Amino acid sequence: MTIGGGGYELWFIGAQRETIMNGKLAAALDLRTLAARPHLYGLGPLEQLRGEATIADSRPALARVGPDDMVKVTQSFDAGVPFFVWAEVPRWIEVPIPAEIGSFEDLEQFIPRAAEAAGLDAEKPLPFLVSGGQALIEFHIPNRIDDAPHDIEMHEKIKIKFELVKTEATIVGFHSTRRSRVFTPGDSNIHIHFQTPSNSQSGHIEKIKIGGGARLCLPAT
C-alpha cells in the first residue's frame, strides 16, 4: 500500500499480527527490489524471524545473532522480509528534542505534537529520525533457530536482548495511530530501529534514554 504525505512517500507490506500471531514468516518482499531507491528509510524483521532489517538513507543493515551470541550486521539488501514499512524522504527538517523528552514513551507523545507544529498531518503514517547521542539503547534481535510453529508466546522467547550505553546512533522510526499490529506494535504508535555510524550495531529498540542534544528529524514539506 502507498501513502503520500507532505515531503515523503510511504509504503508497507504484510502485517506484524500475521507474522507474530499467525506464523506467516515467509518473505512478502525481497529487499533487493528496493536497493536502487534514493533517500530510502525502512524497517522490519527478516524472513523466518532470523534477524532485523533497517535502512537509513539507503544504507541497509541486516542484524542477526551470531554463533557467539553477539550482534552481527551485514550491509546488504540480500534478504526477504515478512512485513516491512519504508519511505522515501528527500529532505528533513531538524527539531530540537526538549530535555524533558527522555524515554520511549516521551518520544511517542512528542512526535505527533512536533509533526503538527511542522505542518505535517500526524494522523497519516509518518517516517521520522532521531539523530545524535543516546544515553541508553535497549534493543532486541529475533533469533528463531528452528521451524516450530510460531505464535506470540514463542515470539517473546526468541528475542535476544542487548544494550548500548552512550552511543551515537541514527534511529529510524515510523509513527501511526491506525496501523497497530500492521507496522507498529500493538502497545505503541511508534516502531523504531537504529544504526550506529559504523553500521556494526543495529536492531529493534525496546527502551531508550535520549541523550542531550538529540534531534528529531521530520520530512520537509
Of the candidates 119, 109, 116, 93, the one whose C-alpha atom is nearest the C-alpha of residue 189 is: 109
pLDDT recorded at residue 181: 74
Grid cell listed for 26? 515467509
Q: If you ran DSSP here, which 8-state letter would residue 14 be given?
A: S
Q: Is 152 helix (H, G, I), strand (E, B) or coil?
A: helix
The whole-model pTM stands at 0.96
Q: Which residue bears the cell 494522523?
A: 123
Which residues, listed in sequence order, are joined to residue 210 by a DSSP beta bridge? 134
Report residue 156: phi and psi, to 5°.
-65, -35
Q: Which residue intervals of 127-190 are DSSP H helices?
A: 152-157
Side chain identity at 82, as an amino acid letter? P
Q: Is 33 helix (H, G, I), strand (E, B) or coil?
A: helix
Please give the share of the chain, as a percent, with pLDDT higher than 70: 100
Q: Are 118 and 127 in contact (CB under 8 A)?
A: no
pLDDT recorded at residue 183: 86
Q: For residue 194, how many C-alpha atoms fall within 13 Å in the half-sphere facing its CB?
A: 29
Q: Which residue bears the cell 512536533?
A: 114
User: Which domains are present in the chain?
Assistant: 2-88 (3.30.1330.80), 92-219 (3.30.1330.80)
- pLDDT digits (tens), the chain, 221 positions: 788 788 999 999 999 989 988 889 999 999 999 999 999 999 999 999 999 999 999 999 999 999 999 999 999 999 999 999 999 999 999 999 999 999 999 999 999 999 999 999 999 999 999 999 999 999 999 999 998 888 888 999 999 999 999 999 999 999 998 876 788 888 899 999 999 999 999 999 999 999 999 999 999 98
pLDDT recorded at residue 180: 67
